Amino acid sequence: MDIRASDGRCELAPRRPARSLTARGARAAGGALYALLALASLAGAQAPGYEVTDEGAYLLERTSVSGPTAARLRATWDGAVTRVEEGLGLAVPPRPRAILAPTDAEFARRLEALGASTAHADALAVAFPGQGVVVVRERGIAEGTAAGLEATLAHELAHLALGQVEAARGARLPRWLNEGLAEWASGRRPTRDEVLTLGGLVVHDELPSLESLAEAFPPHGVGRAYLLALSFVGWLDAQEGGGGVGRLVQALSRGASIDDAVGAASGRTLADAEAAWRDALRAEYSLAEVLLRSVTVWTIAGLLALLAIARHLWRRRRLLRALEAADAADEGEEDDDALPDEDEVTTPGPPPTA
């Protein structure tokens, strides 16, 4: 199971100035506020050894060794923004600051300098919505996996976009919802194996409740918590003919309660939606079990049938060979009859003489 070692954004993000704004004020300040924050950060927080470049859509802070990653970031930025905006129906705040940390030690140091704990130093990247900053751990990026740069960037940019929703609401979203939406925006979808893994956990009553993941994810089982959150958000999206995530995010943006926002997506209360989602996972797991048993039975039946056919063909071939051999023997005898016996061969005598 491929699990994103993702950020601890909720624990990491320091209290941000935007949090103190009223919802109306935050909306009015809009992009200008974030641009100002980004520029203020740019002016005041540039770390030694780093240079800052204006990339247009974002500000990039990097050391001299991060040229290749900077080039890939440039190539993937627009795609990541599109993933978030299409996936959530939310705008990414303008001109965030992206920091490329070239080593794990440097990543931890930058997190600490931004006011975050280093306990999440093994994360792929960390978003700081209050400061409009994303820090990327270059050594954690693995292209061709869920830890690719574009998916990782989209996940973190989703946190920045959701940070605006939180600021407008004046309250944090539950952790499971924030991470589930960020995973959804990154483009990750549960694989069949992951669905069955979750289904097995439901059947054995080992899947944590959403409520238990509202504040923080447990230190052990973080990957499972991310997958669970993504699975529930995906289930919500599929309800009422699809597009559930868009309805959910719109409701959240209007200040609806979590229960009402889940209702907008699925037509159910949060408790009923969670129960229905668990039932769906349980059903997937049960179906898979039935299929597995059926396949086993059919596989055995098929092998026995093939063995029977092979045995029949082998016997038939042996019989045919025996018959052919007998025919050949018979033909040989008939040919012999056609020829004169050796004794009967008469050598022509001398021509008669007159």
Site map for Zn ion, 199-228, x if CB under 5 A?
A: ------------------------------
Of residues 26 and 123, the one with the C-beta less far from Zn ion: 123
DSSP β-bridge partners for residue 125: 136
Residue 169 C-beta: closest distance to Zn ion, Å? 18
The token pair at 225 is 């918590």
Of residues 179 and 237, the one with the C-beta less far from Zn ion: 179
- Asked if 153 and 80 touch (Cβ cutoff 8 Å), the reply is yes
Of residues 160 and 261, the one with the C-beta less far from Zn ion: 160
Of residues 9 and 268, the one with the C-beta less far from Zn ion: 9
Stretch that binds Zn ion, among 1-9, 113-121, 246-254, 295-303 (CB under 5 A): 1-9
Stretch that binds Zn ion, among 7-15, 74-82, 103-111, 263-271 (CB under 5 A): 7-15
Would you tell me the crossing angle of helices 149-169 and 175-186 to the nearest 10 degrees? Answer: 140
Of residues 230 and 248, the one with the C-beta less far from Zn ion: 230
Among 7, 61, 106, 237, binds Zn ion (CB under 5 A): 7
Tell me if 6 contacts Zn ion by CB under 5 A: yes
The token pair at 6 is 């993702």
Farthest CA pair distance, the chain: 148
Of residues 7 and 194, the one with the C-beta less far from Zn ion: 7
Of residues 137 and 278, the one with the C-beta less far from Zn ion: 137
Of residues 138 and 179, the one with the C-beta less far from Zn ion: 179
Any residues with CB less than 8 A from the CB of 75 and at least 6 apart, and which? Answer: none
Query: What number of chain residues touch Zn ion (CB under 5 A)?
Result: 5
Residue 168 phi/psi, 5-degree rounding, is -65, -35
Site map for Zn ion, 93-112, x if CB under 5 A?
A: --------------------
- Residue by residue, DSSP assigns 255-308 as T--HHHHHHHHHSS-HHHHHHHHHHHHHHHHHHHHHHHHHHHHHHHHHHHHHHH
Residue 9 C-beta: closest distance to Zn ion, Å? 5
For residues 194 and 216, what is the distance between their CA atoms, to the nearest angstrom? Answer: 22
For residues 2 and 289, what is the distance between their CA atoms, to the nearest angstrom? Answer: 22
Residue 199 C-beta: closest distance to Zn ion, Å? 24
The token pair at 151 is 């998916």
Among 182, 201, 228, 236, binds Zn ion (CB under 5 A): 182
For residues 12 and 8, what is the distance between their CA atoms, to the nearest angstrom? Answer: 6
Strands 51-54 and 59-62: antiparallel
Residue 282 C-beta: closest distance to Zn ion, Å? 27
Residue 212 C-beta: closest distance to Zn ion, Å? 18
For residues 161 and 149, what is the distance between their CA atoms, to the nearest angstrom? Answer: 18
Residue with tokens 């970031």: 73
Residue 181 C-beta: closest distance to Zn ion, Å? 9
Residue 75, helix vs strand vs coil: helix
Residue 298 C-beta: closest distance to Zn ion, Å? 43
Residue 165 C-beta: closest distance to Zn ion, Å? 15
Binding site residues, Zn ion, CB under 5 A: 6-7, 9, 179, 182
